[in-house]
Structure 1
Amino acid sequence: MPQDPAEPLANPPLNNASPTIAISASNVLNNLELTSIIFSFLKDIALVEAPLQGQSNSTPSLLAVESKRKFAELTRVNRAFFNASIGVLWETMDSLVPFFCEILPADRRKDCNELFRPLGYRRQPISESHWKRFEVYSAKTKTLILNQMKPPMDNAWVLHALSSKKRPDVLFPALRRLWLSSTDSLSLAVAFSIAPQVKFLAIHFDEGTGEEEEICLALLATLRQADGGPQDLTISQPITYTALRSLHQINSITCLSLRLPEGDIRKLGLRLLANLRSLKKLSLVQEVDILDMETANLLPLLNVDDPFSRAAKMPVLEELTVTGSGLTLFTVATELSPSALKALYLKAKADSVDKQVVLFPLIITAFALCNENMTSLSAAYNKGVKVKAETVEGLRGDLRYNQYQKFMDALSALKELTTLRILSIPFFDPGINTALFQLAGSLPKLNYFELFPCPMTTLSADNVVYPTLRDLQSISTGFGQLQVLKIACDLTSIPEIPKDYVSKHPLNSLGMFTLATMDHFTEDTLIALARYLHRLFPNLQELSRTHRKVGGDRLKLWSYLEKLLKSFQAIRAEAIQDMSMSTESAS
């Protein structure tokens, strides 16, 4: 822990500097506001070099040991540097030990800095000066990550510390973000006392103790009865109906991320979430048990014309993310009905049967019909493998699952849409690819379009018809706002373009996949393809980005095509420049 200097250290005069310059330099070094700004920049540089944290992508990075040492050394310069340094060192903490080690000290191992005995081992009276020293550092903490403390503090000493008469009313007055992943007594006591004041709270227990559900319920009950509460709440433990009953009464929540339990969630009570009147962003994620045959074979009874008509209204929700089985996505659509969505992200996870894939178009349709001002729609299936024919044979002739006109009409009404992604979603209609391709042309603001529908089964009758290179010509004459296009395309024939054909299309990035290999493409074929794409999209810059994850020969081929394309662009630019110079000379 940095030592608090009793007096600011004197700043030595600069060598050969005049008294005025020396005084000015001293004023700069002792200016708390200025040093805080400087240290903020230094902290950002240090965090770039910090190692990645292993808990989750959202967990903030911590300063590396070497960076901590450098900032600790700066605490000795003067009081301004001390305050600025501890503001960096204590801003993000992943342990309570540095705060409480002065109040109830522990023994430490000689060979390292780990605790040998838990906090409270060396018992002592807790004085007012102990708590004042605690407040010097706790007042600087804005982010707290409560990991499991080893060895844990005894429950009795936790009560002793927190019942101290000199204890401050608020332990961490500047705290804004809290991650709770520990069930030890000290972490829970601190979490329960500060959770109502934070803006962000994430509950993710890293060790299964069997107490997680009750702890989560108690913490939600605490938040429900508090005056404040977090605006952003993440719960990584499987949510329960009992938890939802407390959760839906926390009116401060504007952003919510929940983990759904595995299996059938139709009795979970998701409708309760509609009571969160300030909720603008909702994420629901479910893990799918690939061995759960019972749930995988469930198909909801569509015995009414509109199974989505009774969903609870959510008039202010702007972003919805749902990841889970087909049944789970369908359940969310029948339980919750947002009407002001700007962004919708649906990701269906494969199960052991894949029968529920027939629900995907219905789910997309339900959300699209209620959110005509949506700007971003992404629907994906994480398997991308054809379903066994016998699995869906009884559903093939069912009009509830094989008619897509309502689906197409709902998508075509999304005139504000700027991003549309439909990935590996299977359809019974082999012509759906072409139909969606044409539909996208009617969306005037579409900027990003990614389309990879998947055949429903291995039957030849289900083979999807893919757009050809000639179909790209319709994009170059329409789709006026399109910047990024990713599609599966038939490259078997490279058509000719009329000599007087002129395009100014703004397309910047094109990713094309083909079912057939391109091994047979000759040098002349590649040149012809690059020339064709250049004529259609003169502003095209990227052809290979989509293939970087795959790498290998495919990436080499598309990288080569990209070079050919840019060579044509360079020749064209030179020709335009020469013509311009000739015109100027003639005039």
Structure 2
Amino acid sequence: MQNSSDALISSSQSQHVTLDLDVDGIPQSEGAPHLPAFAFNSRAEAKVLRNLDLLGLIFSDLSSEPSSHLQPSIKRARGRKNLLRVGLTCKAFFDPAMSQLWHEMDSFLPMLRLIAKVELREGVYTTREVILEHDIQRLKLYGRWIRHIQISSFTERVSGHIYAAIARYTIGTPSCLFPSLRNLRIHSRCDIFPENFQFLPLLASSPLSTIEIERITDNYKVHLASFLHEISRQHPAENHPVSTLSLSGIFGISVLPHLKGFARISKLTLVHRAAGFYVENLEFLSNHPLLSVLELDLPMEWTRIIKPSPNNAVHAFPYIRTLALGGSCNHILGILCHVYGERLTQVNLKLLGRGAEADADILRACIFRCTTMAPMLDDLQLSFTALKIPQDLFSPLRGLKSPLRSLQVKSYVIDKHLFHIWFQEAGEWSDLEMLKLELHPSQASRRNQVDVLDLVTLPLLCTSFPKLHTLEIYLGHPDTDAAVIEPLLRSQMQSMVQTHGLVNLKILLFDHSSFIPFSMRDITLAITISRFINHFFPNLQHLDLSHHHESAYPAWRDWCRGVVEMTTNCTVLAR
């Protein structure tokens, strides 16, 4: 098979055809001699065999078994066997099949075992002889195909001199061990021995564009610092490949100086689990000219209260568009007071605190600061656990030069009174296009203690948002018989004829008490609710309806699914 394919390619190359044929192309010139059909087929096959990208695309379907009843791990194992068989079929198939087989690795061990001298002795991978440069040629051969490394477990023990030998022949030399590597993700700390993190510097010369390392501990933050240093050293700042960097854990502020060479980074995520991040670090981060997304998640243990003063400089981030902060209320407010983004459009704040009164004041101060530090703000996302929510929380948003278009709030349950003050009295939400109100998980147990909006009031509250196209909200299901609810819905449909252009609607229903009468799941009520929603929202394209008691009462899931299906049918028939 191998010889025949080589002969096929060589014979096709010896043919001289004036027209450039596609795979199925046939020359149409009048003077073209008549050629037998098998000649065109031979040329087409030759072109396919020479097109490594096309073969790789074809072989990518072999990487996983289509059988749905098999476990994912078994599917992947069978897919790899299929690729191996295809790669050994002929010479033309070898490279594209191996490229798919070695496309992604979930362990570094198979790569180390490509070194013939590496052997397992007493539970440790080691060698009896010195590793020389020619011993790692197989590693380089297969390493050139690897594009993704995603490691969650690496518990095998490997002698450190193996890593040192590989580094001796790769680091600081023109040779790149993994010339196609683009993504590196490490997700576990418990299932990886600290000694095995010595493989990180071996990847520094690769053209990595995405690096995500989670659960960093003191055991290997030194290897992490060495890795980042090697990346900066081996890649010039103007051609630095890394565009996305995410670090999570206890990595220490000493790691940050190694990021100076990451001149082309556009998204930076730092989830810091140890005290020590200060606003002075913002000056360092603001020096990255292409940074457009900055995410900082800081520890609650950080208790230093930062107050703005004339001596504390405000650091401009010229290209930042998204800022996400998580941590203690005081810390987040301090950071906000030192940031300015001329192009900043999205702010996501996850505020954690303990004092209700202090939280209310800080919440208000954070909202106010968002309006001054981000003149182009149009998307605000808030998550907080404060039990006392100030009534004037959103007053700073009134009269913005650039009106808010998206608002998401995850908090303690918002009752009818507070909702009315926020969204119906203010009258400043005419440009809002997306509103999402979610229950904070820690406050879900108190939902039955608050008087929330009912389904009947849904059309009325939407009149405050004439441009709204996406709404996510939680509503109360009245604790009464279905025979009482239906007249309320029908009366609302008759008295209010105004419709709304809402496109996406997600509703979470919950009761005001723990008692759930079966009559509330009546089929007649489901039909009325579906007609009710369709009447006021005729342009609805996606409806998601659920009940918080679905896990305890599975019948609620079927009832909600029935409402969604009937609403969809009503919408289709109306069109």
Which TM-score bucket, shorter chain as reference? 0.7 to 0.9
8 Å contact from structure 2 (residues 103, 147) kept in 1: yes
2:295 to 271, 283, 291: 283
1 CA distance for matches of 2:373 and 2:466? 25
CA distance in 2, matches of 1:335, 1:265: 14
Summarize deviations over 1:456-514 as a string: whole Å, max 9, x none.
9x99xx97774773462352585234233424468685453457825362434241545
Find the partner of 1:177 among 172, 177, 183. 183
- CA-based RMSD of the aligned residues comes to 4.7
Secondary structure in structure 2 of the residue aligned to 1:432:
helix
Separation of aligned partners in 1, 2:525 and 2:252: 59
Q: How does 1:88-487 map to 2 (within 5 A)?
A: 88-108=100-120, 118-123=124-129, 126=132, 128=134, 130-145=135-150, 149=154, 151-164=156-169, 169-179=175-185, 187-189=197-199, 191=201, 194=204, 197-204=207-214, 210-226=218-234, 227=236, 228=240, 230-248=242-260, 250-262=262-274, 266=278, 269-286=281-298, 288=300, 300=305, 310-349=313-352, 357-358=359-360, 359-381=362-384, 386=387, 402=390, 404=392, 407-410=394-397, 413=400, 415=402, 417-424=404-411, 431-438=417-424, 442-451=428-437, 466=453, 469-470=456-457, 472-473=459-460, 475=462, 479-487=466-474
1:8 and 2:2 correspond: yes
SS at match of 1:169: coil
Taking a change above 3 Å as real, the CA distance of residues 51 and 260 of structure 1, as seen in their structure-2 partners, is farther
Tell me: CA distance 1:496–1:32, structure 2 relative to 1, closer, same or farther (3 Å). Answer: closer
Q: Distance in 2 between matches of 1:434 and 1:402?
A: 13
Q: Is the 8 A contact 1:232 1:255 kept in 2?
A: yes
Structure 1 residues 45-70: Cα deviation after superposition (integer angstroms, max 9, x where no partner): 779999779xxxxxxxx981111111
Equivalent residues of 2:531, 2:570 under 8 A apart: yes
Aligned mates of 2:366, 2:540 — CA distance in 1? 35
Counterpart position of 1:516: 512
Q: Are 2:58 and 1:38 equivalent residues in the alignment?
A: yes
Contact 2:502 2:539 in 1 (8 A): yes
Question: Any conservation in 2 of the 1:260–1:286 contact (CA below 8 Å)?
Answer: yes
Structure 1 residues 153 and 308, CA, compared in 2 at 3 Å: closer, same or farther? same
CA distance in 2, matches of 1:440, 1:524: 38
Distance 1:143 1:572, change over 3 A: closer
With over 3 angstroms needed to count, the CA separation of the structure-2 counterparts of 1:424 and 1:81, relative to structure 1, is same
CA distance in 2, matches of 1:48, 1:236: 35
Aligned to 1:279, the other structure's residue is in SS state coil
Distance 1:138 1:100 in 2: 10
Task: Report the Cα distance in structure 1 between the residues aligned to 2:496 and 2:199, rounded to whole angstroms.
Answer: 76
Query: What TM-score, normalized by structure 2, do the two folds share?
Result: 0.73
Name the counterpart of 1:577.
Answer: none
SS at structure 1 position matched to 2:89: coil
- Cα offset for 1:565? 4.0
Determine helix, strand or coil for the equivalent of 1:163.
Answer: helix
Whether contact under 8 Å (2:207, 2:242) holds in the other structure is yes
Q: Which runs of 5+ in 2 are unaligned?
A: 9-35, 479-484
- Compute the TM-score of the two structures, normalised by the length of structure 1: 0.71
Deviation at 1:318, TM superposition (A): 1.2
User: What 5-or-longer segments of structure 1 have no aligned partner?
Assistant: 1-6, 54-61, 109-114, 388-400, 574-587
Deviation at 1:198, TM superposition (A): 1.5
> What is the rounded CA distance, in whole Å, between the counterparts of 2:7 and 2:228 in structure 1?
57
What is the CA–CA distance in structure 1 between the aligned matches of 2:392 and 2:114, rounded to whole Å?
A: 68
SS, match of residue 420 in structure 1: strand
Letter in 1 for 2:2: P
Report what 2:26 is aligned to.
none
Distance 1:477 1:149 in 2: 55
Residue equivalent to 1:503: 499
